[in-house]
Structures are given as C-alpha cells and as structure tokens.
C-alpha cells in the first residue's frame, strides 16, 4: 500500500462522517465512502533552502465558479512564488485562490497549481487541507498510469498540432520565478513562462546545484494538470558557437562536432523521448545566432571574423543544426524552431534571402528534413521593438525615404513583427512547409517608460523624424548587450498575429547578456567589449558606443539592476 493510499484511509475516518455528503464508493477501494474533496500535495524538487511543490484539488461536491484552498505548515516554510493560483500566506497559514481562467470546478473536476517556497530544518507535508472551508482528505491518486488527477502522470501522448502554444499553458521555470519574485516588485512578473537554457553539456544534469533537464520536465508535468503544457528549451552549444561574439562563446571548439552530437544532442534526445514526457508539448529553440553569422560575418564583408570564416569552411554549424533537427524532430511531441536572427540583422536585401537559403541547407543536412521544423524564432535575447507605430518603411520626409535614415540604413523592415511575417513567407518560398509558424521573443523589447515617444519625430529631416519617433532607444541597432533603457515587452501570448505562433519570453529577463569586464570562469564565456559601457564600437555597430549597462555579471547570471530597469520600463506597463 502506497504512502498516499494509507493517508486516504486515515483521512476518511476523520472527515467522512462530518461533512453531510452522500456516501459513494471510491474506485478501487470497495466500501470506502467518498469525501467532498481530495487534495494531492507533492514536493517535486527540494534543495537545502527551498522546494517546488504541486497541488491538485478534486471537487467531489457541487460545481463551483470559484474556489479557495488552504492549509497550514508545521515548520517555517514560506511561499515565494506561484503559478495557476493566487497564493497568500499569514504566518504558517497558506491560502490559494483561483485565477480568473480556472475558477470553474465541476463535480468530479480537478485543478492544479504550483509554487516555490523556502524553508530550513525539516519540510513536513501539511496534514490538513480545506476547500472553501471544508476539510479534504489527501488523495491516494497516482495508483496507475491512467489516473487523470495525477499531475505527474503523462496520460495520453500529446498529438501533434499546428501551433503548440494554442490552448496550452506554458512552463513557469521555478528557478527563474524564484529569482524574479525575490526582487522588489518582482512578483508582478514571476509567474510568466520563460525558456530553459541548455547552453553546455553539464546543464543537462544541472549546474551549481540547479535543476536538471529531467527535473524541469517533471516540474512541467506537475504544472500541467489535466490541460496542455508547453515546455520551452533553448538548445545552444554548437562547436565554435557564436563566432562573432565573445560573451556567448561556448565550451566546444570549432572541430568538436562529434562531441556535440554524442555528448549534447543525443542525451537531450534520450530524455525528451522518455514516454513519461509524451503528453508535454516540448518547444526547442535551435542554436541562436550561429547560422546568421555565416551570412553576415564571413568573406569580404567589413563585419567578417576569422572564427566565422572557419565555421563556414568546416560546415559544422550546418551539420550541428541538421543533426539536432533530425534527432529532436523524430520525437512526436517536440516542436523545433530555428533561430532567425532579428530584423536589424537579417532585414537587409543582402542578408534576407541568403539567410533563408542557408536555413534550408541546414534543415536538410545530417538526415533532417523540413518536416522536422515547426517554425522559426526571431529576436531571441535581443531588443528589437515589436512594432514601430510612429513611422513606416514607406514614409518619406522632404522627399527622402525613411530607408535612407541613419537608423534604418536601407533596411526593408523597421520592427520585428513585420520582419517575422515577411521572413516566414521567404522561408516558405525556398521550400519550408506552408504551415510553419514564427515566435518572437518579447522579453526585453518593450521600450516603455518616460523615454517612449508619444508620436513621430520632427519633420526637420528624415533622421529627426525617425529618431524622435522610434520606440527602440538603442544608440545603434547593432547593440545587443545589456542595453540601457530597455523594458519588458508584450507578455507571452499564443497566436497574437497572422503567421505568429506566439510571443514568448525565451530569454529570461534579468539574466545578463555578458560581463561588462573580464571575469574568470569555467563556463567557456569570454569578455566581449560590446558589454563594456565605455566601448566605442566596431563595424558591426557603426562604431558607436555599446549602450551596455555597467557592472554586469557573466552571461546567464542574474543581473538585478537590469531586471529592475526592465520592470520600470515595461511596455505594456506593469
């Protein structure tokens, strides 16, 4: 007999006779009477000072339009962040109330929510739970792989859909959520879904005491409940990674393609293939930045680097992306999205069509086919404004086209959404499926606050017109590191526009792009002058100041000052 099954037998003796409900038989336990509600409380992940828990409530009484669950801790547990409910705590007493979208709870229906909490000493499971003031038992649940109320039960494998985000919740990373919630005002966004970055081999099993890939997937199952759940993974460890920048260099050398395949992609594929996770919709962002570098930073271009020339010559970016698409695309519930730069990188005529052609080459390398590609993602970890409403590419000032302004510089696109929609059409034209969708990372492109222009700039010249009206306040569109003045953008949302599968926060807000000075580390990350606020630039940013924030830590590390700035400048405002 399982521990939870023992608990249900003990709890029934306490509550069945006091509730006034009609007797019923609990399936699988003949002769045991039912109770008005059952609660399944599970600790999914625990470390020295905190834990992640999931709670599933089943309502056996009259249908409800709203609900409130409560319990008390015996120790010093303190809830720090939460999702799929609104949790308050007074002393040891905790109350979880429904969100606006999950208040309805039918007779026999279930609802799941989760939270992070801190503790010291012991972390004992609460012994008494209530739903709307009525005492519940602890649900036996989990007795078999078809138990519909068990949030960790994979249940029926998720059928392939056109847009994985449609009708689904998206995984809230407990580690990021806890960091965000610990910041003043951070609880306003700590329940937003963000990407999980697999940026080195060690990340598969967890680094520095952090969660492993399996632990993230287990936590996603806990959050899933009986609905659909998307998990967002960034697969990011190509050999010779990001050849035009140093802050995001990786651990693998230019020739280590076999190590990439066998020690990085193969283990990830093995985990994602586990039938335990077959009911999750797993979205992968495949290798940001590297493929676009082969178009813009090679050959005779002023922006070329020897490292990028090497990666173009050896073909390992193309081979690595193709291998990842092939291995991961073979898993029925995995949706691969290839990184497609951003409009301020690939929007020019010289870059636009060649990039689509290169992506097709990668998507048909190493056994991959276009069927392994669900879509593409733009603006990952970047700052390009979603929509520029104060000017268009077709405007002119005193007979001079906006394309001739210093900011636009002959680009055909002025914002990310118009670029993403146009690039999607280009990708289809070179042979990608007509049902591919685009993702746009809006985690840091809000550009709100007092610096956000209310209308077009002065018509004195095309430059005053564009510079006075643009939302994107960077010094130069080529600046990419910890940008001063940036803000949180549109919140994650499914199907926001034609051809766009979702707005996402793939780059977790508050995680640094790179250190503003050299920092010794064992993560393979170098020091890039573009992260130094005193740097006066290079050909890739028009020899402009970098616009980077000072005192930044290594890429991927928590940067409190940046997170506070992003919240202060959020658009829409928090």
The answer to the question of whether 480 is labelled as a binding residue is yes
Residues of the chain by 3-state class (helix, strand, coil), percent to 5: 30, 20, 50
Please tell me the distance from the alpha carbon of residue 118 to that of residue 101, in angstroms, as a whole number.
Answer: 27
Q: Which residue has the tokens 């086209």?
A: 401
- Which residues have C-beta within 8 Å of that of residue 315, sequence separation ≥ 6? none
Q: Which residue has the tokens 């939302």?
A: 471
The answer to the question of whether 538 is labelled as a binding residue is no
Residues, the chain, total? 574
Let me know if 467 is a catalytic residue: no
Q: Which of 372, 513, 528, 532 is catalytic?
A: 513
The answer to the question of whether 507 is labelled as a binding residue is yes
Residue 536, Cβ density class (10 Å: 0-12 exposed, 13-18 middle, ≥19 buried): exposed
Let me know if 147 is a catalytic residue: no
Please tell me the distance from the alpha carbon of residue 101 to that of residue 231, in angstroms, as a whole number.
Answer: 20
Please tell me the distance from the alpha carbon of residue 75 to that of residue 67, in angstroms, as a whole number.
Answer: 26
Let me know if 242 is a catalytic residue: yes
Please tell me the distance from the alpha carbon of residue 16 to that of residue 137, in angstroms, as a whole number.
Answer: 9
The DSSP secondary structure of 62-89, one letter per residue, reads S-BSS-EEEEE-SS--EEEEEESSEEEE
CA dihedral 261, 263, 265, 269 (to 10 degrees): 130
The answer to the question of whether 511 is labelled as a binding residue is yes
Q: Which of 289, 415, 501, 532 is catalytic?
A: 289
Please tell me the distance from the alpha carbon of residue 357 to that of residue 262, in angstroms, as a whole number.
Answer: 27
The answer to the question of whether 216 is labelled as a binding residue is no
Q: Which of 237, 242, 395, 528 is catalytic?
A: 242
Binding residues for substrate: 197, 199, 342, 345, 382, 480, 507, 511
Residue positions annotated with a catalytic role: 242, 289, 513
Binding residues: 197, 199, 342, 345, 382, 480, 507, 511
């Amino acid at each position: 007999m399982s521990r939870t099954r023992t608990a249900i037998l003990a709890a029934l003796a306490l509550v069945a006779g006091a509730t006034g409900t009609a007797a019923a038989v609990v399936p699988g336990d003949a002769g045991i009477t039912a109770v008005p509600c059952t609660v399944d409380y599970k600790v999914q992940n625990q470390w020295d000072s905190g834990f992640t828990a999931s709670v599933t409530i089943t309502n056996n009484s009259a249908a409800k339009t709203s609900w409130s669950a409560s319990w008390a801790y015996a120790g010093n547990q303190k809830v720090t962040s939460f999702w799929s409910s609104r949790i308050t705590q007074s002393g040891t007493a905790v109350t979880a109330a429904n969100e606006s979208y999950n208040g309805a709870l039918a007779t026999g229906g279930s609802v799941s929510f989760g939270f992070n909490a801190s503790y010291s000493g012991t972390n004992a499971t609460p012994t008494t739970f209530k739903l709307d003031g009525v005492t519940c038992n602890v649900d036996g649940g989990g007795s078999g792989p078809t138990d519909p109320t068990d949030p960790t039960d994979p249940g029926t494998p998720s059928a392939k859909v056109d847009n994985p985000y449609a009708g689904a919740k998206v995984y809230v990373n407990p580690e990021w959520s806890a960091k965000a919630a610990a910041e003043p005002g951070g609880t306003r966004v700590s329940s937003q879904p963000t990407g999980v970055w697999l940026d080195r081999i060690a990340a598969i099993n967890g680094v520095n005491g952090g969660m492993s890939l399996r632990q993230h997937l287990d936590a996603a199952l806990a959050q899933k409940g009986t609905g659909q759940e998307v998990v967002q993974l960034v697969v990011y460890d190509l050999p010779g990674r990001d050849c035009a920048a140093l802050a995001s260099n990786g651990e693998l050398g230019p020739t280590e393609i076999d190590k990439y395949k066998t020690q990085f992609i193969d283990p990830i594929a093995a985990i994602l293939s586990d039938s335990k996770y077959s009911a999750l919709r797993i979205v992968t962002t495949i290798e940001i930045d590297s493929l676009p570098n082969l178009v813009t930073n090679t050959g005779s271009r002023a922006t070329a680097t020897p490292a990028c020339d090497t990666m173009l010559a050896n073909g390992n970016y193309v081979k690595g992306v193709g291998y990842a698409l092939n291995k991961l695309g073979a898993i029925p519930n995995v949706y691969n999205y290839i990184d497609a730069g951003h409009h301020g990188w690939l929007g020019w005529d010289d870059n636009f069509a060649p990039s689509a052609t290169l992506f097709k080459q990668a998507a048909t390398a190493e056994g991959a086919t276009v069927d392994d590609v669900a879509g593409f993602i733009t603006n990952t970890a970047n700052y390009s404004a979603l929509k520029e409403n104060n000017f268009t590419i077709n405007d002119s000032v005193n007979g001079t086209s906006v394309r001739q302004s210093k900011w636009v510089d002959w680009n055909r696109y002025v914002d990310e959404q118009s670029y993403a929609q146009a690039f999607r059409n280009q990708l289809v034209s070179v042979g990608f499926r007509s049902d591919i969708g685009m993702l746009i990372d809006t985690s840091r492109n809000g550009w709100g606050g007092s610096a956000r222009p209310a209308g077009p700039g002065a018509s004195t010249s095309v430059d005053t017109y564009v510079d006075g009206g643009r939302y994107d306040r960077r010094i130069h569109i080529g600046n990419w590191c910890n940008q001063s003045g940036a803000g949180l953008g549109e919140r994650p949302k499914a199907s926001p526009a034609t051809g766009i599968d979702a707005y996402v926060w793939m780059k977790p807000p508050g995680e640094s792009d790179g250190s503003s000075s050299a920092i010794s580390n064992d993560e393979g990350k170098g020091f890039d002058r573009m992260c130094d606020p005193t740097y006066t630039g290079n050909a890739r940013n028009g020899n402009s100041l970098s616009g980077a924030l000072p005192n930044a830590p290594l890429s991927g590390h928590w940067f409190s000052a940046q997170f506070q700035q992003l919240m202060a400048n959020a658009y829409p405002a928090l």
